């Protein structure tokens, strides 16, 4: 059940249910379904009716919103998006997350940090979640291009939305939702001042794209390029922990 406490000592109760569908998916899916029925039943145009019916089913699946079991350890940063780790690089955090925005709350400190980029496909869950719990300090939307999200420059050129979370201990973690060639709608569920639990839903990127997470200084990723991650569940890093992780593709 949603909200039930589970742990790795066998306590709790596992279950499997059909995931909920986000209202955006219900809207698009019902429109496609209505159009397909019109072509099939009224006009008898099977050439259009059956593909639209298939599209409707795909939309319901793509906008699914499953529950997740969120690790509650204070020291972990979790994946904000479903997808594949496409880049792990040392970069300066975005200017929008560093500069004084007049709110009186400092942004991220200057200096290179590890950025973990998660590439979302059109088949991944579109809902994004906060990698840490805390207070939302910034939500900065920037219009831009719609180049491939695989490109490193997409973080500076594409339509994007920066989010800054401050934990109760003062540690600040920033992450960015980035639109791509198909994903041209970033929808936030939050605003500055909101208090979030770790793994809480913060928004969605329609039809997938990319989410970048800026790890705090002195923290290395515990995932590898090519690894699949699950929003709200996969541990990206442990705060203050460093060390190289290697893997073998097989």
b/e per residue 154-176 (b: at least 16 CB within 10 A): bbeebbbbbbbbbbeeeebbbbb
Q: Token pair 């920037």 is at which residue?
A: 142
Q: In the annotation, is 155 catalytic?
A: no
Identify which of 77, 30, 76 has the alpha carbon closest to the alpha carbon of residue 212.
77
Specify whether the CB–CB gap between 118 and 80 falls below 8 A: yes
Residue of 155, 209, 228, 249 with catalytic role = 209
In angstroms, the CA 174 to CA 97 distance is 7
141: how many CB neighbours lie within 10 A of its CB? 12
Catalytic residues: 209
């Amino acid at each position: 059940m949603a909200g039930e406490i589970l742990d790795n000592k066998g306590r709790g109760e596992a279950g499997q249910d059909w995931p909920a569908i986000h209202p955006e998916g219900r809207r698009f899916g019902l429109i496609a379904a209505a159009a397909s029925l019109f072509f099939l039943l009224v006009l008898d145009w099977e050439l259009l009716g059956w593909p639209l019916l298939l599209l409707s089913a795909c939309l319901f699946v793509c906008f699914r919103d499953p529950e997740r079991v969120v690790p509650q350890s204070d020291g972990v940063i979790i994946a904000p998006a479903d997808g594949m780790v496409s880049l792990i690089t040392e970069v300066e955090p975005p200017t929008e997350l560093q500069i004084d925005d007049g709110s009186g709350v400092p942004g991220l400190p200057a200096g290179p940090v590890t950025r973990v980029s998660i590439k979302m496909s059109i088949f991944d869950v579109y809902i994004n979640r906060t990698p840490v719990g805390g207070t939302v300090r910034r939500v900065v939307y920037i219009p831009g291009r719609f180049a491939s999200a695989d490109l490193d420059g997409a973080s500076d050129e594409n339509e994007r939305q920066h989010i800054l979370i401050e934990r109760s201990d003062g540690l600040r973690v920033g992450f960015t939702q980035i639109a791509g060639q198909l994903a041209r709608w970033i929808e936030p569920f939050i605003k500055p001042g909101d208090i979030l639990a770790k793994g809480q839903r913060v928004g969605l990127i329609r039809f997938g794209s990319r989410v970048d997470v800026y790890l705090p200084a002195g923290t290395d990723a515990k995932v590898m390029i090519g690894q699949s991650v699950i929003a709200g569940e996969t541990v990206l890093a442990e705060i203050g922990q460093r060390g190289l992780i290697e893997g073998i593709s097989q």
